[in-house]
Structure 1
C-alpha cells in the first residue's frame, strides 16, 4: 500500500500530491496523461489491508458510485487494479474536505450553512429514494467544489458533543441531560428547531427522513435549481394579472412568493449578463410589491380597528380563563409592535406563540359567543401573521438579490473518498 512514500504508478495517470488518507485508503490528486490533462482524484486501496468484509464494502461502494449520477454526489469515472492495489478514479473537488474548511473559518453564517444543507439534503434524498445509506457521513467525507460548506454544527465551530476523550464523549452521548443550543443572534428559530430535532437521542422521537426533507429550514422547494426561474416566472405572471385586476392583497402575496424563487434563480444562473438582468427584474418586482404593501396596509386600517374592538371584548369575556387571557395579551402585544413599525421576526414569533395557545383554547371552548369571537380572532391573527411573514421574506429577497453570493452557486459533493 502506498502511504507516505512515493505514489503508485498508473498507466493512464500521473499521481501527484496526497489529498488525504484513512484506515484502508489514500487519495491522490492526479492528471490524465492524454491531451486533456484532466484533473481527477485517485483513491488507492491496498489489497493487503483488506479482509473479506472490507472487500465486500469496497465492491458495494464501486457498484453504487458506478450507477449513481447526481450533481451533489462525487462521480466515479473508472476503477482499475493491479497486484497490489485497487484504484478508484473519482471526480476531483478543488475545495478539499469540509473538516478543513470549518477549521479554517471557525464559524459559518447561517445563510451559508443553509445553502450547504440544502445541497446535502438533496443528495441524501436522492440516495434515500434508492434505498442507499451513506453510513459514514461526516465532515471529512464531504468534498467541496468551489469552496462550499456543510452544517456539522458549522454554525458554532464545534460538534454538539465536543470532548477531550472517548470516555467523555460516550458519557455526553449517553447522558439524559437535554441538548442545549446556546443563545445566538445569528441562529434563527427554524434552524434551532431543526438542530434540536436532529440531536434528539431517542430514535423514536428524532426527526424522520421525510420530516427532515420537508423541514422549513431545509426548504428544498427554494433551493437554487434549473426549475427556479420557471416557478418564479409562473408566479409573477399570476401576480401581474391580479395587480392589473386591482386585487392588491392577492397580487402582493404572489409577488412575495415569486421573489422566493427569483433569488435562488439568480444564484443558479452562471451567465453574468443574464444574472444582472434577473437582478434588475427582481428590483422592479420588489418596488411594486412595496407599493402594494402600502396600499394593502392603508386598506387594512379600518379592519384592524374592528379587530381591536372585538379583541378587547374577548379579553373582558376571558378574565375567568387566565391562560386564554394571557394568550390574548400576547396577541395584543404582537399587534401593537407591528403597528408601531416593529415588523421583524420578534413580532412574528409573538403572533405564532399566541396562535399556538389560542388554537388549543379553541379546541376546548364550548359553543357560544366567546367561541365565535375566539374563532374570528384566530382567523384575524393568522392573516396578520401570514402578511408579516410575506413582508419578512420580501425583505430577505430584496437583501439577498443585491448581495454577491457567487460561492453559493457552486456544487457541494457528498463522497466516500477516504475510508
Structure 2
C-alpha cells in the first residue's frame, strides 16, 4: 500500500503495515496489524540501517534498552524488536490519539484543569524514570502521545536521546529541540537531569497559552531569547490559579541551581500526585469521611467541613479510577450526600464568620496606625484589608485568595525582621488570623471544584469539553 511521497511501507512477516504515522531524521513510523490477531493494532518504527551513523546507532540501542526495561501506564510500551537486511523495527504500543502537539493545536489552549491532569500523568512517568536514574532529554509535545481522543491519557514516547543519568551527572552533547531545550543546554552545552524539568515547564506553558515561551520567527530570534537573562513572564490571560503560576515560574527558572528540584516538583501542591486516581483513592476517601462524621456529631463544624473537603479530593479520583458502572453510581450517590452536608456546614460557618467580619478587627486598625512609619508593612496590611472586604462582600473567591496570599507573603517577611515588642505581637496575631481565612477560602474553592468534577463525571452523555473526557484508566 503506497503512502505519502509514493513510498511503499517495508514488509514484515507477522504484520501488515498500513498508513505512515510520522517520520524523523532516521526513522519512519507506520500503523500496523498483527496477522495472527487482526484485532491487535501496533505502531512500527522502521529505522533504515543505511541512515545510521555511530551516534544514531548508540541512540537506538539506548532506546531499546530503556524501553525493554520499563513498564508504566504513561510510557509507550515496546512490545518487540526485529531486523532484516535493510531495517531495524521497533514494534510499539499504538496510540490512537496522536501527539500532544496536535491536541493543543486543534484546541488552541487547554483549560487549567485539563492541563493539570496531563501534567500529573507526565509527572507520574517522570517520577518512575527519575527513580531509575533515567533522563528523557528530549521532552516536547511531539514526543508525548495520547492513548485515544475519547478518553485521552498520556504516553511518553521517543527515548532516542534518553540516558541513564543521575541528577548530578553532567553531559556536554547538544540534544533535543531548541524550543524545549533548557538554556544551560544551549548556552553552556553542560547540563544535568534538571533540563527535563525546564522542558516540562515549556510544554505546560504551551498547553496553557497556546505557544511556547520562546516562540520566534527565526532561529536567530530564538537563540537571542534563549541566551537572554530576562525572567520568563507569564501572560495575564487566561487567569490561572496561584499554585499553577507558582509551578510554572519555578519550572521556567533559567538558572538550574534555582530551578525547582525533582523532589519539589513531585510534591508541589499543583502537581498533587497524592490525589491521582488509583486503587487506594476510595479507601483514603472513606477513612476521611468516617472522621468527618465523628467531628460533625461532636458539633465541631469547622473540623467536619475540612475533613469532608479532604475526602472529596480523594472521591473525585476514585470516581475516575472506577470502571464498574454500578460501583461508580454508588460512589456518586455517597459523594452527593457528603457534598450536601458540607454545603450545610459551609452556610453555618460562613454565617458565623460574616458576623465576626462585620464586627471589624480593632487589632488590625491599631497595627496599621503603628505601621505608618513602615510603608511596606502598611501597604501589606492594606492588601489584607482589601481581601477581608472582598470576602465580606462575597466577591470572587480566587481574587480574594490571591490578595490574602500576596499580603501574607509580605507580612511574613516583615515579621522575620520585626524586633520584639507590641507591634510584633500584633503582627503575629494578624498573620495567624489571615492564614486561617486563606485556608478556609482555599477549602471552599477545592470543595466547589471537587463538586463540579464529581457532577461532570456523573453525566451519561459526554459534553464537548475535553475535561469530561480526560479519564485516567
Per the normalisation by structure 1, the TM-score is: 0.92
**Structure 1 regions of 5+ residues with no counterpart?**
412-419
Taking the aligned partners of 1:239 and 1:212, their CA distance within structure 2 comes to 30
Shift of 1:283: 1.8
Partner of 1:95: 97
Aligned counterpart in structure 2 of residue 262 of structure 1, from 312, 315, 319: 315
| Partner residue in 2 for 1:208 | 261
Q: Secondary structure at the match of 1:90?
A: strand
The answer as to whether partners of 1:307 and 1:377 remain within 8 angstroms in 2 is no
User: Is residue 115 of structure 2 the alignment partner of residue 113 of structure 1?
Assistant: yes
Q: Return the offset for 1:325.
A: 2.1
- 2:343 maps to 1:290: yes
1:99 Cα offset (Å) = 1.9
Bigger mean CA offset, 402-411 vs 338-347: 402-411
- Alpha-carbon deviation of 1:371? 1.7
Give the Cα–Cα distance (whole angstroms) in 2 for the partners of residues 379 and 268 of structure 1. Answer: 38
d(CA) in 1 for partners of 2:312, 2:68: 38
Per-residue deviation, 1:410: 4.2
1:375 corresponds in structure 2 to 428
- For residues 184 and 202 of structure 1, the distance between their equivalents in structure 2, rounded to whole angstroms, comes to 26
Structure 2 contact 205–248 (Cα < 8 Å) conserved: no
Deviates more, 1:344-353 or 1:207-216: 207-216
Instruction: Give CA deviations for 1:236-295 in whole Å, capped at 9, x if unaligned.
Output: 111111111211111111111111111122222223333233222222111111111222
Q: How far is the alpha carbon of 1:3 from its aligned partner?
A: 8.8
CA distance in 2, matches of 1:98, 1:322: 48
Higher mean C-alpha displacement, 191-200 vs 294-303: 294-303
Match of 2:469 among 393, 402, 407: 407
Closer/same/farther in 2, CA of residues 305 and 311 from structure 1, 3 Å limit: farther
How many Å apart are 1:302 and its aligned residue?
A: 6.1
- Alpha-carbon shift at residue 27 of structure 1 (Å): 0.7
Residue 196 (1) aligns with residue 258 (2): no
Contact 1:109 1:186 (C-alpha < 8 Å) held by counterparts: no
Q: Aligned residue for 2:56?
A: 54
Distance 2:425 2:205 in 1: 48
Question: CA contact under 8 A between 1:267 and 1:406: conserved in structure 2?
Answer: no
Alignment correspondent of 1:33 = 35
Higher mean Cα deviation, 97-106 or 84-93?
Answer: 97-106
Alpha-carbon deviation of 1:189? 2.7
Q: Secondary structure at the match of 1:332?
A: helix
Asked if structure 1 preserves the Cα contact closer than 8 Å seen for 2:214 and 2:225, the reply is yes
* Number of residue pairs aligned between Structure 1 and Structure 2: 410
Q: Which runs of 5+ in 2 are unaligned?
A: 155-202, 458-466
**Which stretch of structure 1 is more off in the superposition, 211-220 or 107-116?**
211-220
For residue 456 of structure 2, give the secondary structure of its aligned residue in structure 1. coil
Contact 2:364 2:430 in 1 (8 A): yes
Are residue 392 (structure 1) and residue 454 (structure 2) matched?
Answer: no
Looking at structure 2, the residues matched to 376 and 226 of structure 1 have their Cα atoms a distance apart, in angstroms, of 42
Contact 2:20 2:31 in 1 (8 A): yes
1:63 is aligned to 65
**Which residue number corresponds to residue 304 of structure 2?**
251
- After superposition, the CA RMSD in angstroms is 2.0
Instruction: Answer yes or no: is the 8 Å Cα contact 2:82–2:89 preserved in 1.
Output: yes
SS in 1 for 2:45: strand
Partners of 1:3 and 1:26 within 8 A in 2: no
Cα separation, 2, equivalents of 1:46 and 1:141: 20
Task: Flag the 1:332–1:141 CA change in 2: closer, same or farther, 3 A.
Answer: same
TM-score by length of 2: 0.82
The offset of 1:213, in angstroms, is: 1.7
Identify the structure with bigger relative contact order (alpha carbons < 8 Å, sequence gap 6+).
1
